[in-house]
């Protein structure tokens, strides 16, 4: 199942340009480089984000739920509640019941309450589609950067390190493994391919954002459907900064490389849900802290002067480009 996304140019031209400002000033809106909106109330704030899910081999609920969860978690907030909308092509009560039971199980596993929902039969869809609205709260303090500036005044600046937690192409490689399972079993041993499905345990962000912001990170962004390269571009574009990335330092598991080679796709451009990018003054300290906590992590680049977004690999340097 191809869960592609509109490109940056299309989003700016057709979405962001056509959304008018409102009278409510206590709101940090979502946008490129920030997948959540934030409502401020005194010292507390509410974070809201949305995601969609379809049947991608892992069920109808798991992927969309976790994407919405990560969108909230990267802000430093704790997800506490979710609401859903289900569009179905026909009156299939068994499928509906299965989806709700799966949603309830996911909520229980991640300590998120299901608080509301809407279900509708729509002939325009050919298979069930489910959207999730995730709500999170802060516990009175926030480390998250908004528009390149944290609430304590620190700014993203040239010379800062870019740290990545998690692995490139994690969710995308699992989706590909489900899609090409028969062919992969013919080329590789069953036990080797089955290791790929264990990556499902790495989709959700856990304490990575907490560790990052406690270590002084001034910005965080979760990798999504466009992969790590797309996330790096979004991050740089939203902050209006240049970046230089070392391709060889980007964490990735060998199984992801093998699956992508079989499917003929770039592992750095497939869904990287489970990974996150952080900007901080001392990336090695943060990388070490994340590794000590049990997460894959590495310093993968730096913020630079100017606006060039480059990737270095095998002695060559090329430019990142926006999708769309």
Reported pTM: 0.89
φ, ψ for residue 229, nearest 5 deg: -65, -40
Domains for the chain: give ranges and CATH numbers. 23-141 (3.30.1330.10), 149-319 (3.90.650.10)
pLDDT in tens, the chain (324 residues): 344 566 666 766 776 666 666 666 656 666 666 677 777 666 667 889 999 887 777 878 999 999 999 999 999 999 999 999 999 999 999 999 999 999 999 999 999 999 999 999 999 999 999 999 999 998 655 444 444 444 334 689 999 999 999 999 999 999 999 999 999 999 999 999 999 999 999 999 999 999 999 999 999 999 998 999 999 999 999 899 999 999 999 999 999 999 999 999 999 999 999 999 999 999 999 999 999 999 999 999 999 999 999 999 988 999 998 875
200 CB neighbour count, 10 Å cutoff: 16
Q: Which helix (H) or strand (E) holds 185?
A: helix 181-187
**Ranges of H-type helices in 202-267:** 208-214, 227-239, 254-263
Q: How many Cβ atoms from other residues are within 10 Å of residue 71's Cβ? A: 28
Residues 6+ away with beta carbon under 8 Å from 143: 76, 150, 151, 209, 212, 213, 214, 217
Nearest Cα neighbor of 2 from 51, 57, 49, 50 is 57
């Amino acid at each position: 199942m191809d869960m592609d996304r509109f490109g940056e140019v299309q989003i700016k031209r057709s979405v962001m340009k056509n959304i008018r400002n409102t009278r409510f000033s206590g709101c940090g809106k979502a946008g490129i480089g920030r997948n959540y909106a934030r409502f401020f109330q005194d010292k507390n704030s509410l974070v809201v984000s949305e995601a969609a899910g379809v049947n991608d081999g892992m069920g109808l609920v798991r992927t969309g739920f976790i994407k919405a969860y990560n969108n909230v978690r990267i802000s430093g907030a704790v997800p506490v509640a979710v609401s859903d909308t289900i569009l179905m092509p026909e009156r299939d009560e068994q499928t509906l019941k299965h989806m709700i039971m799966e949603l309830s199980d996911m909520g229980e596993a991640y300590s998120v309450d299901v608080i509301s929902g809407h279900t509708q039969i729509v002939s325009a869809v050919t298979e069930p589609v489910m959207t999730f609205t995730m709500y999170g709260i802060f516990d009175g303090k926030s480390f998250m950067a908004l528009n390149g500036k944290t609430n304590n005044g620190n700014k993203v600046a040239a010379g800062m390190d870019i740290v990545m937690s998690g692995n490139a192409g994690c969710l995308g490689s699992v989706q590909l493994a489900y899609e090409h399972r028969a062919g992969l079993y013919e080329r590789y041993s069953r036990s080797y391919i089955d290791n790929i499905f264990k990556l499902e345990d790495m989709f959700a962000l856990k304490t990575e954002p907490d560790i990052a912001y406690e270590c002084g990170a001034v910005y965080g962004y979760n990798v999504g459907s466009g992969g790590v390269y797309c996330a790096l571009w979004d991050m740089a574009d939203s902050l209006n900064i240049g970046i230089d990335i070392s391709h060889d330092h980007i964490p990735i598991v060998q199984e992801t490389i093998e699956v992508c080679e079989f499917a003929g796709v770039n592992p750095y451009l497939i869904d990287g849900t489970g990974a996150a990018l952080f900007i901080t003054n001392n990336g090695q300290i943060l990388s070490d802290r994340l590794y000590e906590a049990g997460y894959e992590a590495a310093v993968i680049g730096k913020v630079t002067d100017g606006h060039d977004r480059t990737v270095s690999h095998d002695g060559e340097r090329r430019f990142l480009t926006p999708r769309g």
